[in-house]
Amino acid sequence: MENTLVLSQAEAETRTFINHVYSWMTAGLAVTGAVAWYMAANPAMMISLVKIRFLFFGLLIAELILVAYLAIWLKAMSAFTASAVFVAYAVLNGVTISIIFLVYTASSIASTFFVTAGTFGLMSLYGYTTKTDLTTVGNLCFMGLVGIIMASLVNFFLHNAAVYWITTYLGILVFVGLTAYDTQKIKNLNIIGNEGTDEDKKEAISGALTLYLDFINLFLSLLRATGKRR
């Protein structure tokens, strides 16, 4: 009886933690979407962003710095700082991702978002509920991600259509797999007994960032594959 009570308390705490993770992830996506939509409503700002290359690439570098800062120094920072960095990253990503409105129609962006949300939700639910260890899937997806990054960097100079489509469809598979794996990993890494502490809040933000990146990259991969260009 006592063991059952302890188990139910642990499960309840895990569910609360996961709810916090998804709340932060949803907030991050909302911020990114709102900023991107604002940019789309001001085409001159997006065009300037594209034309001024050093500004665009500077923002991309700033995003990488924020992600690295959050990943490496998370334990040393306060929960408030971690949340501020996460929100700042979501804002910057909203600025850079807004250029998709120059390339794709608004209707295809909207439809792709809903397809992404449905796919992400199903795979995340699978990752949360399955008893199967998804470590092997995660490792394969990570290797695939490394391959995609390397191929994309090379293709930035080659402009090969075949490589573009291969990395696009491989990206869909990789981020579908990572969504399930990362959900399971985040669930299993939750520390029982520290609910409500700064550490718990930082863990939730870290998990939210991971799932946020999975969602955004899955969305972009699907958009590249199925989006209707202007």
User: Residue-wise over 111-135: b if at least 16 C-beta within 10 A, else e?
Assistant: bbbeebeebbeebbeebeeeeeebe
Q: Would you state the pLDDT for residue 52? A: 84
CA end-to-end span of the chain, whole Å?
63
pLDDT at 192: 64
Hey, what are 155's tokens?
């293709």
**Alpha-carbon Rg of the chain, whole angstroms?**
19
> Splitting the chain (230 residues) into consecutive groups of 10 residues, what average pLDDT does each group show?
55 87 97 95 85 87 92 89 95 95 94 97 96 95 95 89 94 97 92 75 94 97 92
pLDDT of residue 36: 95
Percent of the chain that is helix, strand, coil (3-state, to 5): 85, 0, 10
Task: Report whether 28 contacts 88 (CB < 8 A).
Answer: no
Rounded Cα distance between 227 and 230, Å, is: 10
